[in-house]
Amino acid sequence: MRSRPGRRAARAAEAAAAAGLAVAASLGSAAPAAAPPSRHGETVGHTVRGRPIRLVVVGDRGAARRVLVVGCIHGTERAGIAVTRALRGAAAPAGAALLLVDALNADGCAAGTRGNAHGVDLNRNFPVGWRPLSGIYASGPRPGSEPETSAARRLVLRERPDVTIWLHQHMDRVLLDPGADRALIRTYARVAGMRTRVLAPLPGTATRWEAEVLPGRSAFVVELPAGRLPAAAVARQVRAVLAVAALSGTSQGALSRLRHPHAP
Ligand SMILES: [Zn+2]
């Protein structure tokens, strides 16, 4: 349940996000309406096969609020890459930076395999709730064994994102991951035009690990629909990310931190 001020904050966040999109859309014109979004790229790790794992930051590198979006962790679920790529052209809401990783599992995305080049499901390889698993959910020889998992852990611990969004397919639901701010997730779902769903906790997932190492912050999964996303659907996901980015440092975020007094 969300308070009235919370709802107002959500509306304001959506309006700010829409304004950001309008600015992004106007950048192609000659009008000097706004400075182009500042972008900064770096390599944050390498895959088993040596492919660089690239991070692109949109907005102020030193912004107080950071929203991390990972386009592809399962190589058979690549629709989210269109979303992270589109976000590069968006304007981050004031005071927020977007941290964009197209493909954490760059080898799997290139090969079209769920797992990485070792056949490990990276979303079962994180060291919270890890269990030995084989088959398509193979969790690796030990928790955090894979270089892609290490890269993600280093990045998350360095940036301490207020919100992390992991894009998957094909459930067509936004997942209410334990530990994440449900109001934020519901805002994302509403702007994206999606429904929410609760899943039983899975072993060794990225969101479960983040909930433990960054309590009071929000990491959640967006299960996109199957297939390639049409342009209008990409735009809706972009608006949803920007709405959450605008919201994460407002009263909603502050309230959420109050609800988690153990937060660092
Ligand atoms: Zn997945």
Expressed in angstroms and rounded, the spacing between residue 8 Cα and the centre of ligand 1 is 33
Question: Number of structural domains, the chain?
Answer: 1
CA of 9 to the centre of ligand 1 (A): 31
Question: Could you tell me which residue, 157 or 39, shows the higher pLDDT?
Answer: 157
Cα–Cα–Cα angle for 56, 209, 93, nearest 5°?
35
The contacts found for 122-125 with CB under 8 angstroms, 24 or more apart, are 122/73, 122/74, 122/146, 122/148, 122/149, 122/152, 122/206, 123/73, 123/74, 123/166, 123/168, 123/202, 123/204, 123/205, 123/206, 124/202, 124/203, 124/204, 124/205, 125/149, 125/204
Q: Does residue 225 form part of some domain?
A: yes
Whether 87 maps to a domain, the answer reads yes
Task: Considering only CA atoms, give the Rg of the chain.
Answer: 17
* CA 89 – ligand 1 centroid, Å: 25
Q: Is residue 4 part of a domain?
A: no
Average pLDDT over residues 61-87: 96
Could you tell me the distance, in angstroms and rounded to a whole number, from the CA of residue 188 to the centre of ligand 1? 18
pLDDT-based confidence at 209, cuts 50/70/90?
very high
Residue 13 lies in a domain: no
In tens, the pLDDT along 134-144 reads 999 999 999 99
Select from 40, 87, 88, 32 the least CA-distant residue to 60.
40
pTM of the model: 0.84
CA of 159 to the centre of ligand 1 (A): 23
Asked if the structure places residue 192 within a domain, the reply is yes
Which range marks the domain in which residue 186 is found?
A: 36-259
pLDDT digits (tens, 9 = 90+) for 230-246: 999 999 999 999 999 99
Identify the band that residue 36 occupies on the pLDDT scale cut at 50, 70 and 90. low
Kindly state whether residue 7 falls inside one of the protein's structural domains: no
Q: Report yes or no on 117 lying in a domain.
A: yes
Q: Is 16 among the domain residues?
A: no
Cα(168) to centroid(ligand 1), Å: 4
How remote is the CA of residue 115 from the centroid of ligand 1, in Å?
10
Q: Residue 106's domain is classified under what CATH number?
A: 3.40.630.10
Ligand 1: distance of its center to the CA of 73 in Å?
7
Centre of ligand 1 to C-alpha 103, Å, is 12
CA atoms within 13 A on the CB side of 75: 22
